[in-house]
Structure 1
Amino acid sequence: MTHTEVEAGFHGVVSLLDGPLLLRGVGPDGDGSLSQHRRLWNEPARRDAQQLIEMSWKIGLTGRGGAEFPFARKLQAALESGKKRELVVNCSEGEPASAKDSAMMFSAPHLVLDGAQLLAETLDIHHVHVAVPGERPHVAAAIKHAIKERPRGRKAVAFEMHVTSGGFVGGQSAAVLEMVAGRDNLPVTTRTPTAISGLRGRPTMLSNAETLAHLAAVSDLGPERYARWGTPAEPGTRLLSISADGPGGLVLEAPHGVPLAEMLEFCGYDPERPLLLGGYHGTWLSPQQVTNCTLSPSDLARFGAKLGAGVLLPMLPGDCPLTYTASIVDYLAGQRAKRCGPCTNGLPAMADACTRLPLTRSHREAAGLVERIEQLTGLVTGRGACSHPDGTARLVRSMLETFRPEIDQHVDGYCTYA
């Protein structure tokens, strides 16, 4: 396995490992060009909608931007509307810990654009919008170059790039649609799925970059060849960002079903330490859970966890999960859109309580802070203009559930993990 360094991380360079499916051919000699891409992948064949739906169901394709909603169900909803449709490719990773879409668009952009072309032709869409992260200029430049390489002409699919204003909530689905529509790149309250009513009120396929890459791969290879990776129940692979919110971060592709501990060891991390899975809105796994789990959505569900956008944050020696969680919540409180009370008032209060929790030396005060934090998570959940408060509350609740004994340890001046 080879690796290369790409300017795809929130803070700059991340290491990108070549992979078995989506990331094959992206080593040091890869240039991400269309000519190199065509040596590995064929020009997308035209497919009717039923073919795409059947292939997507066969491989269990879900959205890889975090929601994990079945792609086939979203496509079916867009088809049944009978209206003119829109397609938006979402590459706008606003979370500092996520780099997998940026790395893919930097090194293998044409597989994503092939998936978008395939879907656009099926839905009779001639203009595709591509949302890219504003805080990662090298990624935006790579995507702009890739779009210029695509075939042009009267019947070709036209790609238009849109650069986000940056920030954690800028990549949220409703915020992306607002930006593409020419409004502020901020989330708004919406109860209707985008596949029914999205951009300009039309049924909109708002799809993550990795999702579309998998769609292109299964269309080219067929479900049987695609399923050579993964497990019979969960075929295929996942792109993963590991410790990408700091120096030494990496992006890799792993088949479903590999032991989580084995994969972490391969990447140089200790599997007997806590792991934050799913990113800043994710779920904590204890060391015991990490060593008894595989890279599998169904297996992770046993612990109430999801792969989400494929972000893994293993704790390094000296890291304290309580302090680390507090730092994330403090960051998230500063990333609010300031359009609703739960974000404007609830998240800063939650950040303050989480920051004080590992520092207190009074059991009574610690109990009071836990009660306050639990109250705040209940107050913000389900009441925000977008899902930002819900995701933050999920992270905090997971911390309390996984590390409740650690709170008493900290009061006594001791941390199990630091």
Structure 2
Amino acid sequence: MTHAVLESGFHGEVSVLDGPMLLRAVGQDQGPGLRAHRRLWDEPMRMTAEQLLELSWKIGLTGRGGAEFPFARKLQAAFESGRRRELVVNCSEGEPASAKDSSLLLTSPHLVLDGAQLLAEALDVHTVHISAPGERPGVVRAVRAAIDERPGGRKAIDFEVHTTSGGFVGGQSRAVLEMLSGRDNLPVTARTPEAISGFKGRPTMVCNAETLAHLAAVNSLGAEEYSRWGTAAEPGTRLLSISADGPGGLVMEAPYGVSLAELLEFCGYDPARPLLLGGYHGTWLAPHQVTGSTLSSKDLVRFGARLGAGVLLPMLPGDCPLTYTASIVDYLAQQRAKRCGPCTNGLPALANACMRLPGARSRRESATLVERIQELTGLVTGRGACAHPDGTARLVNSMLDTFAPEIENHVDGYCHYA
């Protein structure tokens, strides 16, 4: 095990565990330099866009930024446009509970750059734009140091680093494109996917750092070796941020298909407690759902849950799920872009109602607050300029569904979990 100190946005150090693929440099203490990197990973083999499409479909590569959208669909849309394309590597990671991209860039930055090089060559892109988190200067320095090490001569690809202004919504894809265009680093309404019309109106591949690292890994290992990890339905691994928004957080790499309970026990957490999966816009899992699930998007869909950006927030002893959720919603209400009514008015009102719910003194007051919360989540969903209100509403509705008995317990003066 090694440790990466992630500045600003984290409460202390985040431990990074060595992993089977993307984080294997950690276990061998290789360091982030290019020479050490090449001892573990070959120079990327050139591939055409058609070859990348075939390979990414074969391993079922999905985006690791949160949406889990099939990578090949975006690539196909950009490739078939026939127009000049753009490539943006999104390393912004604006959520405080996520540390996996920052850890990857601190320990294996060249794996991300290898993936970007592969994609840029296939799409005939000459400048790769990298969006780095401005509130984590150590990560920005690591990216720039890695770029300085990259040799020239193979193809004239320039890497340009842009730093976000920070905040939860600053890493959203449209917010990143706004920043690259010289405007405020805030999301805007967009009806057309970035792969069709993005930066400068051109087809733009906006790719998460981990996604590109997987692309480089399968290029080097081959699909068969890459698929030794994971399951037949979901080959490969996932980077996970576990309790990374507080002291004692860690980042690890796990194969698809492992038991969630075993994974949590390995990390020192009790699987018989609720788990917030997917981050601050995620979904609550009850204890019986945690113990009956695997690390699998296809498995977790049974409970309406997604791995998202790979954030796991286990409930610690003494934590109250209602109070914890309310604190997240209060934070999210402060992180709004202030560009639409649901964000400007709806989220603060929702936060206020959620903050009051744990302290309701009667069943009538509690029921009134629940009705108000349900009304507000309905009002903000699908009406925002971006997906921030939708994600916040998803979290709150998940709380109401998962912890309905706890709402009644609080009226009686106790919490089953605290």
Q: Distance in 1 between matches of 2:398 and 2:365?
A: 20
Q: What's the offset of the Cα at 1:143? A: 0.7
Normalised TM-score (structure 2): 0.98
| Residue type of the alignment partner of 1:104 | L
Contact 1:8 1:106 in 2 (8 A): no
Query: What is the correspondence of 1:180-191 to structure 2 with a 5 Å cutoff?
Result: 180-191=180-191
| Residue type of the alignment partner of 1:66 | G
Question: Any idea what the Cα deviations from partners look like across 1:287-319, whole Å, max 9, x if unmatched?
Answer: 000000000000000100000000000000000
Contact 1:132 1:161 in 2 (8 A): yes
Q: What's the offset of the Cα at 1:232? A: 1.1
Contact 2:92 2:132 in 1 (8 A): yes
**C-alpha spacing 1:214/1:28, structure 2 compared with 1 (3 Å):** closer
Query: What is the correspondence of 1:105-120 to structure 2 with a 5 Å cutoff?
Result: 105-120=105-120
Residue 226 of structure 1 is matched in structure 2 by 226
Q: What's the offset of the Cα at 1:28? A: 7.5
Q: What's the offset of the Cα at 1:154? A: 8.0
Question: Any idea what the Cα deviations from partners look like across 1:224-264, whole Å, max 9, x if unmatched?
Answer: 00000001111100000000001110000000000000000
Q: Distance in 1 between matches of 2:154 and 2:54?
A: 30
Q: What's the offset of the Cα at 1:58? A: 1.1
> When the two structures are aligned, how many residues end up with a matched partner?
416
Q: Distance in 2 between matches of 1:209 and 1:25?
A: 16
- Is residue 2:120 matched to residue 1:159? no
Q: Distance in 1 between matches of 2:148 and 2:100?
A: 22
SS at match of 1:110: helix
- Is residue 2:6 matched to residue 1:8? yes
Q: Distance in 1 between matches of 2:143 and 2:362?
A: 53
| Residue type of the alignment partner of 2:220 | D
Q: What's the offset of the Cα at 1:220? A: 1.0
Question: Any idea what the Cα deviations from partners look like across 1:134-158, whole Å, max 9, x if unmatched?
Answer: 1111111111111111113483311
Q: Distance in 2 between matches of 1:20 and 1:216?
A: 15
SS at match of 2:78: helix
Question: Any idea what the Cα deviations from partners look like across 1:322-362, whole Å, max 9, x if unmatched?
Answer: 00000000000000011111011000000000000001111
Structure 1 stretches of 4+ moved >6 Å: none
Contact 2:14 2:248 in 1 (8 A): yes
Aligned-pair Cα RMSD in Å? 0.9
Q: What's the offset of the Cα at 1:49? A: 1.1
Give me the identity figure in percent.
Answer: 76
Unpaired segments ≥5 residues, structure 2: none
| Residue type of the alignment partner of 1:7 | V
Unpaired segments ≥5 residues, structure 1: none
Query: What is the correspondence of 1:16-35 to structure 2 with a 5 Å cutoff?
Result: 16-27=16-27, 29-35=29-35
Q: Distance in 2 between matches of 1:39 and 1:126?
A: 27
| Residue type of the alignment partner of 2:67 | A
| Residue type of the alignment partner of 1:234 | E
- Is residue 2:393 matched to residue 1:390? no
Q: What's the offset of the Cα at 1:29? A: 2.5
Contact 2:115 2:213 in 1 (8 A): yes
Q: Which moved more, 1:21-30 or 1:120-129?
A: 21-30
SS at match of 1:224: helix
Residue 242 of structure 1 is matched in structure 2 by 242
Q: Distance in 1 between matches of 2:172 and 2:133?
A: 11
SS at match of 1:281: coil
Q: Distance in 1 between matches of 2:272 and 2:321?
A: 13
Q: What's the offset of the Cα at 1:26? A: 1.5
- Is residue 2:86 matched to residue 1:81? no
Residue 315 of structure 2 is matched in structure 1 by 315
Residue 376 of structure 1 is matched in structure 2 by 376
Query: What is the correspondence of 1:12-161 to structure 2 with a 5 Å cutoff?
Result: 12-27=12-27, 29-153=29-153, 155-161=155-161
Q: Distance in 2 between matches of 1:362 and 1:206?
A: 49
Question: Any idea what the Cα deviations from partners look like across 1:108-155, whole Å, max 9, x if unmatched?
Answer: 000000000000000000100000001111111111111111113483
